[in-house]
């Protein structure tokens, strides 16, 4: 049962604010303002209902037994707090989300390892500004100009070569 009084927010707003995207800052500010307004409204009311002076009412009301009946019913009345039926679903969602996060982290670590291998390969190669044409042909044989095996005409782009066919020409020869 939720019978304790919350005097101040126990939520870590600073940690949430660090994670909020700049485009969502206005929504974050509105949420925090609503939360603070609700907390102030709850704090404005006393924690428990005020104590009634039953003797004062006995002196003022002349009907015998009426005040005693009210007192007995007032003290017997307990305001029921709603049962929290959603906490099990919320905890299940939290566990599912934690599993998804762990899976994502594992996949990310695998991708990072692959990327680090790619970076290591690139770093092991000669820098482009220090590379000679022979180095370039050794590293990228399919992209380099090969005047012996595949001679080309200047400016060495596909459109200027003798065997070049445009998209339209390729489409007509394929049919």
Q: Report pLDDT for 6.
A: 59
pTM of the model: 0.42
The reported pLDDT for the residue numbered 154 is 84
- The confidence score (pLDDT) of residue 167 equals 85
Residues with Cβ within 8 Å of residue 89, at least 6 apart in sequence: none
Q: Domain residue spans in the chain?
A: 7-45, 51-76, 94-124, 132-160
Give strand pairing partners of 150: 146
What is the per-residue pLDDT for 77? Answer: 85
Mean pLDDT, 10 residues at a time, over the chain (175 residues)?
57 89 94 90 81 89 89 86 86 95 97 96 88 88 82 83 85 77
Among residues 57, 5, 9, 53, which one has the least CA distance to residue 31? Answer: 9
Is residue 124 classed as helix, strand or coil in its secondary structure?
helix
- Alpha carbon of 175 to those of 54, 57, 167, 168, 169: distances in Å? 103, 104, 13, 11, 10
**β-bridge mates for residue 2, sequence order:** none
């Amino acid at each position: 049962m939720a019978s304790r009084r919350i005097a101040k927010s126990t939520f870590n707003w600073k940690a949430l604010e660090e994670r909020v995207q700049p485009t969502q800052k206005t929504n974050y500010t509105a949420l925090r303002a609503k939360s603070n307004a609700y907390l102030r409204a709850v704090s404005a009311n006393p924690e428990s209902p005020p104590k009634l002076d039953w003797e004062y009412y006995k002196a003022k009301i002349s009907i015998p037994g009426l005040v005693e009946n009210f007192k007995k019913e007032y003290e017997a009345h307990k305001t029921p707090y709603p049962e929290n039926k959603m906490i099990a679903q919320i905890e299940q969602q939290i566990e599912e989300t934690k599993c998804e996060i762990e899976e994502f982290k594992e996949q990310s670590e695998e991708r990072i390892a692959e990327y680090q291998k790619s970076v290591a390969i690139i770093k092991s190669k000669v820098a482009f500004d220090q590379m000679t044409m022979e180095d370039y042909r050794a590293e990228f044989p399919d992209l380099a100009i090969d005047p012996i095996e595949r001679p080309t005409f200047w400016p060495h782009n596909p459109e200027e070569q003798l065997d070049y066919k445009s998209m339209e020409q390729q489409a007509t020869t394929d049919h």
